Amino acid sequence: MYSQIDEKIYLYFLAVIPIIVILFLVNLYWKRKKQREFGDVELVKKLSPEKSIFKPVLKITVFLLALTSLIIGLANPKIGSKMETVKREGIDVVFAIDVSKSMLAEDMAPNRLDKTKQIVSQIINQLGSDRIGMVAYAGSAFPVLPITTDYGVAKMYLQNMNTDMVSSQGTSLEEAIKLSANYFDKGNATNKLIILISDGEDHSDGVEGAIEEALKIKAKVITIGVGTEKGGPIPIKLNGVVENFKRDQNDEVVVTKMNAEILKQIGKGTKGGYVYGGNTKEVLDYVKNALDNIEKTEFETTQVADFQSQFQWFLGIAFALLFIDIFLLERKTDWISKLNLFNEKES
């Protein structure tokens, strides 16, 4: 029998239960204290003969059990006993994403980096059982996400990418492809694809080196160009408002332009290809066609438990207990009073 918790974050709410218990005990102590200040305790009891000592404890116990069941239900515990062998066929895809400051230029709406995120997210949506990884680069490259089949996590990391991730500014396509190449298992026959998205402003003169790195591991590189040949300034924003534009040493506004020729050279040299990122649909069609023409290989055989959600049982228990709690009054119950289980009657 195997078990797992689907939404573990909800279990943190269990910390509320001891707080409620403490508040209940403090309130109980405060009531007792006020009763003693009001008069003789035995006399107060006689003035309210139907008030039960046990019922408030029972009500809070039922409520806490209901709350605990509700929280566990929200966390969605799962139980699985069936094991299945899952065979996957696909390719390894690494997205190399340019996060240099030039990617903040708004010559492509909303800006080059946000447009890149849109394109990558849409490409991920049309993937099948391929494994994906993610690299960020500027003057140097930075690993963002290792090879995985969890597309949800990949999208989360994608949305968090920004131009402050890499301290070394500039754009080094060679570094990007070199790090991307390290993601692939050298002894694995799985076909490899690098999808490199950039404005093509390579400040390292390492285009030939980038092509060599890809050819070493027999990986194709599809390059996607973002930006325009006319270019645009790089905005400097504070709280989302443009305050100024990046300037050079001569205090002139820097205009960054897309260099498609470098990207085309890499695509051609690795037998991958190049596509302009201005039209998302065209990019998706281009990438889909390229993926369809790459031979898929079996790269993973996994034992997976067929987990079944159990949240409905806990939610059912929670609502049943809450229903019972509504009808639990704090006065004594006649048949329980006759039993005198809690010595509430005078002997």
Residues 204-218: pLDDT tens digits?
666 788 888 888 888
Going 300 to 303 to 308 to 310, the CA torsion angle's sign is: negative
Which of 50-59, 89-98, 268-277, 333-342 bottoms out in mean pLDDT, i.e. has the lowest?
Answer: 333-342
86: which strand partners?
A: 302
* Pairing label, strands 2-5, 77-80: antiparallel
319 and 187 inside one domain: no
* 320 within a domain of the structure (yes/no): yes
157 and 245 inside one domain: yes
What is the percent of the chain with per-residue pLDDT over 70, rounded to a whole number?
Answer: 79
3-state SS, 203-218, equals CCCCHHHHHHHHHHCC
What is the percent of the chain with per-residue pLDDT over 90, rounded to a whole number?
Answer: 35
Q: Are the beta carbons of 120 and 96 closer than 8 angstroms? A: no
47 and 167 inside one domain: no
96 and 181 inside one domain: yes
> Tokens 């079996």, residue?
298
As a whole number, mean pLDDT of residues 221-244 equals: 87
Higher per-residue confidence, 287 vs 29: 287
Range of the domain at 16: 2-81+307-339
* 290 within a domain of the structure (yes/no): yes
* Pairing label, strands 92-98, 192-198: parallel
Position 76 pLDDT exceeds 50: yes
Cβ neighbourhood burial of 111 (10 Å; 0-12, 13-18, 19+): buried
Q: pLDDT tens, 81-140?
A: 666 666 777 888 999 999 999 999 999 989 999 999 999 999 999 988 888 999 999 888
Band of residue 274 on the pLDDT scale cut at 50, 70, 90 = very high
* 344 within a domain of the structure (yes/no): no
Q: How many CA atoms lie within 13 A of 94 on its CB side?
A: 29
101 and 13 inside one domain: no
159 and 234 inside one domain: yes
Per DSSP, the three-state class of 32 is helix
Q: pLDDT tens, 7-62?
A: 788 888 999 999 999 998 998 888 777 767 765 656 555 555 556 667 788 888 99
* 286 within a domain of the structure (yes/no): yes
244 and 111 inside one domain: yes
134 and 77 inside one domain: no
What is the longest distance spanned by two Cα atoms in the chain? 100
CATH number at residue 295: 3.40.50.410
pLDDT of residue 302: 57
Q: Which two tokens stand for residue 93?
A: 């895809």
Distance CA(69)–CA(103), nearest Å, equals: 49
Which of 156-165, 201-210, 236-245 bottoms out in mean pLDDT, i.e. has the lowest?
Answer: 201-210
Higher per-residue confidence, 68 vs 49: 68
318 and 248 inside one domain: no
Neighbours of 65 (CB within 10 A): 17
Position 240 pLDDT exceeds 80: no
24 and 158 inside one domain: no
Q: Are the beta carbons of 192 and 184 closer than 8 angstroms? A: yes
The total number of structural domains that make up the chain: 2
Read off the pTM.
0.62
33 and 168 inside one domain: no
164 and 291 inside one domain: yes
Q: Which two tokens stand for residue 258?
A: 């897309």
Cα→Cα distances 344→27, 48, 77, 214, 327, Å = 21, 12, 42, 84, 21
Position 273 pLDDT exceeds 90: yes
Whether a cis peptide bond, with omega within 30° of 0, leads into 233 is no
